Amino acid sequence: MSGHLAVVGLGPGDARYLTAEAVEVLGVAQALYGYRPYLDRMPVRPGQSRHASDNREERARAAAALVHAAQGARVAVVSGGDPGVFAMAAAICEEIESGPPSWRALDVTVVPGITAMLAVAARIGAPLGHDFCALSLSDNLKPWELIEGRLDAAAGAGFVLALYNPVSRARPWQFAAAIERLRRHLPPSTPVVFGRAVGRPDEQVSVVTLDAADATQADMATLVIVGSRETRVIERPGRSPLVYTSRAVAEVSA
Amino acid sequence: MSGHLAVVGLGPGDARYLTAEAVEVLGVAQALYGYRPYLDRMPVRPGQSRHASDNREERARAAAALVHAAQGARVAVVSGGDPGVFAMAAAICEEIESGPPSWRALDVTVVPGITAMLAVAARIGAPLGHDFCALSLSDNLKPWELIEGRLDAAAGAGFVLALYNPVSRARPWQFAAAIERLRRHLPPSTPVVFGRAVGRPDEQVSVVTLDAADATQADMATLVIVGSRETRVIERPGRSPLVYTSRAVAEVSA
């Protein structure tokens, strides 16, 4: 009698990042919920309904999907990247916690996916090869001072940083402020990787040094990786450089 | 004339975590290199050679694969989880940096995979739903004092922590010391998730509170997630609890 709700990670970009589990779960879903551009990536299947919504409507989308699943349907909520990293799985959990008891009876499955930082890192080498933090620069749901404190703590302790949501129309200055903040802790030569639209036709991946990093290089579709003192760039004749973070730490840099 | 080297993430456990790209790259490889249990997961293909090695021989495995690729072959090095997270991609880059110039001419591809923390998080809800750090507790290549400093910095600033390599035969006390360290920063009620062998038949995922966390709950195959002040547990009648980290931060906890 109780329905099924799956929160499915599509990975970034095209179908090459889909896992076998994601393909299977999407294939048997009776209803798909998600941000419209994600749904547009999916093949149309007879008998499968689609419920597209705007990017900012995460809670409403989660609630609608839960209502539908509680009616006994097999529902899938699609998410770019991994649903558990700055994405739909936490929104679903929030709704379950504050919703009716019937939502706690639902069979809920989270299907992991390739999150943006893994895809960008793979494109350039292995910049996340050692200890790292994933940090959202969005101050929609947390104060900017907290983000500054986390930037200080992470860079000061020698973590590589993967910065999600660096820029949006509503948050134009935060990324420049974050870069400025990180310059207090890291050498000017620290590698910074900008990965935009990885896995899509307009993909762009570039490496600069921290002193040359510029907020205009990032937009809403960009994931930024800021290296640590152990992050190195290998130049290659006729090929793009490799960026990686050494697993060995020679001296305490914190 | 120059060969191809792919570093391929298998995800944790069984084939359901393989991406379409990984399946494709593994299908066309002429030689597979990797830790024996990972190779044993792969179907045998005619004309494809296999070169198994021990878990501790990462640099030797990387060098052997590079030598083979530089001879013009299409070589794949397989890695559990994601090759860029505490795995083979950084070892390959290290070898390229210190190796002969011909290795810099190679076509190198990293194929991302589902890393353990994403798989464990998906099994239990969305504990990585907000800012988090991934930290290896292995002090083989970095001093223990640096690890302590990173635990302090991450927990103090309110990051959720994903702890890789909590325990090994050669490192019996480090995980207990890490838990003790984290108790200085986090409330006793902080949720701690132990995910063992996720995606394999002997999978075990459990949730305890930080005050009840015990080093005997982790082994070499365990990934541990330590929550933040924003991490919550949703009890569900007749089902395992959901653990998630709220995207909203009410007050500065750092």
CB A231 within 8 A of CB A245: yes
Question: In chain A, which residues have their Cβ closer than 8 Å to the Cβ of B252?
Answer: 143, 145-146, 149
Q: How far apart are CA A206 and CA A192, in angstroms?
A: 8
- Residue in chain B lying closest to A199 (CA): B21
Element spanning A236, H or E: strand A231-236
Residue A176's pLDDT band (cuts 50, 70, 90): very high
Q: How far apart are CA A80 and CA A39, in angstroms?
A: 10
Average pLDDT of the residues in A9-36: 94
Q: Please, where are the H alpha helices in chain A?
A: 20-28, 36-40, 58-70, 88-98, 101-104, 116-124, 144-156, 174-183
Angle at B220 between CA B216 and CA B224, to 5 degrees: 70
pLDDT at residue A250, as a whole number: 62
* CB–CB contact B18 A17 (8 Å): no
Query: How many angstroms separate the CA atoms of A57 and A39, rounded?
Result: 15
What pLDDT, on the 0 to 100 scale, is given for residue B253? 44
Question: How confident is the model at residue B250, as a pLDDT?
Answer: 62
A199 sits in the region (left: phi over 0; alpha: psi -120 to 50; else beta) called left
pLDDT at B1 over 80: no
Burial tier of A15 (Cβ tally within 10 Å: 0-12, 13-18, 19+): middle
Among the partner residues A18, A89, A143, nearest to B19 by beta-carbon distance: A18
B119 touches chain A (CB under 8 A): yes
Q: A203: closest CA among A163, A240, A236, A228?
A: A240
Please check whether residue A115 touches B, CB under 8 A.
yes
Q: How does the average pLDDT of chain B come out, rounded? A: 94
Residues of B in contact with A19 (CB under 8 A): 11, 16-19, 114
Joined tokens for residue B155: 């927990």
Q: Does B153 touch chain A (CB under 8 A)?
A: yes
Q: Are B192 and B9 in contact (CB under 8 A)?
A: no
Q: How far apart are CA B160 and CA B154, in angstroms?
A: 8
Cβ-based burial of A147 (10 A; exposed 0-12, middle 13-18, buried ≥19) = buried
Query: For an interface test with A, which of B93, B148, B164, B233 has the most A Cβ atoms less than 10 Å from its Cβ?
Result: B93
**pLDDT grade, residue A120 (50/70/90)?**
very high
Q: How confident is the model at residue B154, as a pLDDT?
A: 98
The predicted pLDDT at position A236 comes to 96
Instruction: Single out the residue of B149, B118, B77, B92 nearest to residue A117, CA to CA.
Output: B118
pLDDT in tens, A132-174: 999 999 998 899 999 999 999 999 999 999 999 999 988 989 9
3-state secondary structure (DSSP) of residue A107: strand
From the number of C-beta atoms within 10 Å of its C-beta (0-12, 13-18, 19+), residue A235 rates as exposed
Q: Do B129 and A249 touch (CB under 8 A)?
A: no
Stated pTM of the model: 0.96
Q: What is the mean pLDDT of residues B47-59?
A: 90
Determine the straight-line distance between the first and last CA of chain A, rounded to whole angstroms. Answer: 55
What is the mean pLDDT of the segment spanning B240-247?
95
So what's the pLDDT on residue B54?
84
Select from A68, B198, A45, A85 the least CA-distant residue to A77: A68
Which residues on neighbouring strands pair with residue B15, listed in sequence order?
A: none
- Among B205, B192, B195, B204, which residue's Cα sits nearest to residue B231? B192
Phi, psi of A135, rounded to the nearest 5 degrees: -135, 130
pLDDT in tens, B98-141: 999 999 999 999 999 999 999 999 999 999 999 999 999 999 88
Q: Tell me which amino acid residue A232 is.
A: R
Sequence-distant (≥ 6) Cβ neighbours of residue A253 within 8 angstroms: A158, A228, A229, A230, B146
Judged by a CB distance cut-off of 8 A, whether residue B16 touches chain A is yes
Q: Phi/psi of residue A219, each to 5°?
A: -135, -165
pLDDT of residue B173 exceeding 80: yes
CA distance A29 to A90: 20
* Position A50 pLDDT exceeds 90: yes
